[in-house]
Chain A
């Protein structure tokens, strides 16, 4: 492709599908809210993937509520809530990325905020906005009025400054020497005050009003990674709890503004490190969407294969560890062995086991080796047997049933409130699977079912994951059949990394190689939210580009962040021992949670 050919819009195939309804919605919003709608930007005139509507700060909650409930809009799902720093006043833009679970359509609301201004909280509309707002306060210093618990979330409570502001240095270290302690006050509990009247007639109640505070984590075997849960117990029942994280925070969003698009690939591996490949490709797709690149068929099929392998790995690890936590150790070894076999396949693709960095913008780091399809099919066959064996081993087990059925229920309404996605949401009957609903790659062309359960308990999450492994195996078998030889690189001068023999033997190749890796390639101005159904749920990259080789804002919408927020309401009223099962079943990955 010639660099001078006009760049396609980054709306992709959404444009023809949704453009009319977007136009109607924007017109209706203007009519209803009048002057509160400050500006509207519609694709394809404006370089964005979905319409952006700037709303005045005072009216934003009304607009959100209207868009959530009004027929014809039905944006009932807060996909993401974040901010950007524009450096000039009005300094901050707060971005609500909305999704409609009925129409499978997306929309973006923005408000402009001056430095020092407060914003009304959206907790009344979505409970899940709670932590997102805390993160914006932590990272940008924007306060929310009406927020019940506006504390720092990723950084230590004693930290000074707001790291994602543009004027904050990348290396602004601040050392604390004492660990942060659990705060019983956050649980409405004063350890010295034992005069409180007894609540309820729990037989475990030892002493009227006496409660135990249990601190679990940050380094605890039940916590998969490093985060903390502090629970107020009445006997063994959890009355109230709060969770804390940020112990693995590595500033990946800040780094996105300092690294070129090519350099950032390695950081995506280290988000959800159990399924790094899926993260790689979601990121690559986001940048490709901004640049209007369509990758080749072979690349797409290989990417799909890699995504499905990583989905299987992720699910096997999740259900395996979940079973270990509840006492079924052998079960975990079955899955783990098959996972090692999968890593052998991945090593054949890219040479690495865990942190793969397999994607390149517009291609792959290397082609699949000869005979890969055959090995893949053999692995699929073996894994199918293993999964059936695992199924027999645990699914009918009485102890497993007793520990998981009806425990830690999170229903459909709560899933919508807390923006749950992926298997955890499908286990509660929230039927979204972006592979089917907003298909990217070639998911349209393969046959698979989306397992949905109704109960929303640990068992439902387990069974949905187990079934998804089987469906992924089906997809893999179809992909292996359809993988045909062909080029893996898109012939686009902007992103094509020169071949090694050109680099070594021609002057132009060497210069081009040097320029590519030292300065990176330019991405046109615009913004896009690119999402994919990763094993854990909806992973989204919201990239704002102002031109140039580095992003203006690199936002990662990590599913674990929203799932972990749901843990406290999920375990309220449960026994403390069931917390372990609940946490394992929603599969929190610390690298993705903290970014």
Chain B
């Protein structure tokens, strides 16, 4: 393209173009259960402002979203609910597991009521460590996810290309 914008074509692969569009228009559905939800609200509010990275259109209906941010503990009573919501989000879909509870059950809460990480229920693309993670950490995670989407390396994209085998999501286990 010329500097004055006159001649106008770019060569790219369709895949890259589609992924570029996807990564810059993330529509998150917050699955905020506990402490991490408050930090996620901070991330979305004016001081940290996630919209600078193309991810502020928070939708509370799974049908309108493509990124699930699991913020906080998912216990055994909640696990089937999360699984249902995951299945309602249309493909391609991405999952960020925010905080120790969602990522690993948090060493603190290895108890009768808890799952030990949401990856026992749904596939996760990016894990964010911290209890709770700072807003910067969540923004970093969103940017990491964008990189992954651009490269086509997320679970959903790999599965669509047939590069993954097995069930659509792991079986619920502890």
Give chain A's interface residues, CB within 8 Å of chain B.
Answer: 154-156, 163, 168-180, 218-221, 225-226, 246-251, 254-255, 266-267, 269-270, 273-274, 317, 332-333, 336-337, 340, 353-355, 590-591
Please state if B76 and A273 are interface contacts (CB–CB under 8 Å): no
Please state if B75 and A247 are interface contacts (CB–CB under 8 Å): yes
Instruction: Kindly supply a per-residue 1/0 record for chain B positions 96-126, scoring 1 wherever the CB is within 8 Å of any chain A CB and 0 otherwise.
Output: 0000000000001111111000000000000
**Of A170, A178, A332, A354, the contact of B35 (CB 8 Å cutoff):** A354
Instruction: Kindly supply a per-residue 1/0 record for chain B positions 56-98, scoring 1 wherever the CB is within 8 Å of any chain A CB and 0 otherwise.
Output: 0000100000000000110111111111110000000000000
Give chain B's interface residues, CB within 8 Å of chain A.
Answer: 31-35, 37-39, 41-42, 45-47, 60, 72-73, 75-85, 108-114, 131-132, 134, 172-174
Can you list the 6 inter-chain pairs with the closest CB atoms, starting with the nearest? A273-B35, A251-B111, A179-B80, A221-B60, A172-B112, A247-B78
What B residues does A267 contact at CB under 8 A? 108
Q: With A and B bound together, what is the CA distance between A333 and B35 in angstroms?
A: 19
What B residues does A590 contact at CB under 8 A? 33-34
Please state if B76 and A175 are interface contacts (CB–CB under 8 Å): yes
Please state if A226 and B33 are interface contacts (CB–CB under 8 Å): yes
Please state if B132 and A354 are interface contacts (CB–CB under 8 Å): yes
Q: Known contacts A177-B80, A355-B131; is A251 also within 8 Å of B113 by CB?
A: yes
Most chain A CB atoms below 10 A, which of B34, B38, B77: B77
Please state if B172 and A177 are interface contacts (CB–CB under 8 Å): yes
What A residues does B84 contact at CB under 8 A? 179
Q: With A and B bound together, what is the CA distance between A177 and B78 in angstroms?
A: 10
What A residues does B110 contact at CB under 8 A? 170-171
Q: Known contacts A175-B173, A251-B113; is A591 also within 8 Å of B76 by CB?
A: no
Chosen A-B contacts, 23 in total, with CB atoms closer than 8 Å, are: A168-B112, A175-B172, A175-B173, A176-B80, A178-B80, A179-B80, A179-B84, A219-B31, A226-B32, A246-B75, A247-B78, A249-B113, A251-B113, A254-B112, A270-B35, A273-B35, A333-B46, A336-B46, A340-B47, A353-B39, A355-B35, A355-B131, A591-B34
Q: With A and B bound together, what is the CA distance between A317 and B39 in angstroms?
A: 12
B32 to chain A, nearest CB (A): 7
Please state if A250 and B78 are interface contacts (CB–CB under 8 Å): no
Please state if B35 and A249 are interface contacts (CB–CB under 8 Å): no
Q: Known contacts A218-B78, A249-B77, A274-B38; is A169 also within 8 Å of B112 by CB?
A: yes
Q: With A and B bound together, what is the CA distance between A219 and B45 in angstroms?
A: 20
Q: With A and B bound together, what is the CA distance between A82 and B47 in angstroms?
A: 42
What A residues does B39 contact at CB under 8 A? 353-354
Q: With A and B bound together, what is the CA distance between A355 and B109 in angstroms?
A: 15
Q: With A and B bound together, what is the CA distance between A582 and B45 in angstroms?
A: 23
What B residues does A266 contact at CB under 8 A? 108
What A residues does B172 contact at CB under 8 A? 175, 177
Q: How many A-B residue contacts, CB cutoff 8 Å?
A: 125
**Of A221, A317, A336, the contact of B47 (CB 8 Å cutoff):** A336
What B residues does A178 contact at CB under 8 A? 80
Q: With A and B bound together, what is the CA distance between A317 and B37 in angstroms?
A: 13
What A residues does B114 contact at CB under 8 A? 250-251
Please state if A246 and B77 are interface contacts (CB–CB under 8 Å): yes
Please state if A173 and B112 are interface contacts (CB–CB under 8 Å): yes
Q: With A and B bound together, what is the CA distance between A172 and B37 in angstroms?
A: 27
A156-B77, A246-B75, A251-B109 known; 16 new pairs, CB 8 Å cut-off, are A163-B113, A171-B111, A175-B79, A175-B174, A179-B84, A220-B60, A250-B111, A251-B113, A255-B108, A270-B35, A273-B34, A273-B38, A273-B132, A332-B45, A336-B41, A340-B47
B153 to chain A, nearest CB (A): 28
What A residues does B82 contact at CB under 8 A? 219
**Of B41, B73, B80, B173, the contact of A250 (CB 8 Å cutoff):** B73
What B residues does A176 contact at CB under 8 A? 76-77, 79-80
Please state if A219 and B111 are interface contacts (CB–CB under 8 Å): no
Please state if B76 and A156 are interface contacts (CB–CB under 8 Å): yes
What B residues does A221 contact at CB under 8 A? 60
Q: Known contacts A221-B60, A247-B77; is A336 also within 8 Å of B42 by CB?
A: yes
Q: With A and B bound together, what is the CA distance between A226 and B35 in angstroms?
A: 12
Using CB atoms, name the residue of chain B closest to A347.
B134
Q: With A and B bound together, what is the CA distance between A249 and B112 in angstroms?
A: 10
Q: Known contacts A175-B172, A226-B33; is A219 also within 8 Å of B38 by CB?
A: no
Using CB atoms, name the residue of chain A closest to B78.
A247
B39 to chain A, nearest CB (A): 6
Using CB atoms, name the residue of chain A closest to B32.
A225
Q: With A and B bound together, what is the CA distance between A78 and B116 in angstroms?
A: 37
B48 to chain A, nearest CB (A): 8
What A residues does B134 contact at CB under 8 A? 353
**Of A155, A273, A591, the contact of B77 (CB 8 Å cutoff):** A155
**Of B37, B45, B108, B112, the contact of A336 (CB 8 Å cutoff):** B45
What A residues does B72 contact at CB under 8 A? 248
Q: Known contacts A332-B45, A354-B39, A591-B34; is A180 also within 8 Å of B77 by CB?
A: yes
What B residues does A155 contact at CB under 8 A? 77, 113
Q: With A and B bound together, what is the CA distance between A340 and B31 in angstroms?
A: 22
Most chain B CB atoms below 10 A, which of A163, A175, A220: A175
A108 to chain B, nearest CB (A): 28
Most chain A CB atoms below 10 A, which of B80, B112, B172: B112
A255 to chain B, nearest CB (A): 6
Please state if B113 and A250 are interface contacts (CB–CB under 8 Å): yes
A536 to chain B, nearest CB (A): 14
What B residues does A337 contact at CB under 8 A? 45-47
**Of B31, B32, B81, B112, the contact of A170 (CB 8 Å cutoff):** B112
**Of A163, A175, A333, the contact of B45 (CB 8 Å cutoff):** A333
What B residues does A269 contact at CB under 8 A? 35
Q: With A and B bound together, what is the CA distance between A155 and B174 in angstroms?
A: 17
Using CB atoms, name the residue of chain A closest to B35.
A273
Q: With A and B bound together, what is the CA distance between A155 and B39 in angstroms?
A: 27
Using CB atoms, name the residue of chain B closest to A247.
B78
A240 to chain B, nearest CB (A): 24
Q: With A and B bound together, what is the CA distance between A154 and B131 in angstroms?
A: 23
Using CB atoms, name the residue of chain A closest to B109.
A250
Using CB atoms, name the residue of chain A closest to B45.
A336
Using CB atoms, name the residue of chain A closest to B77.
A156
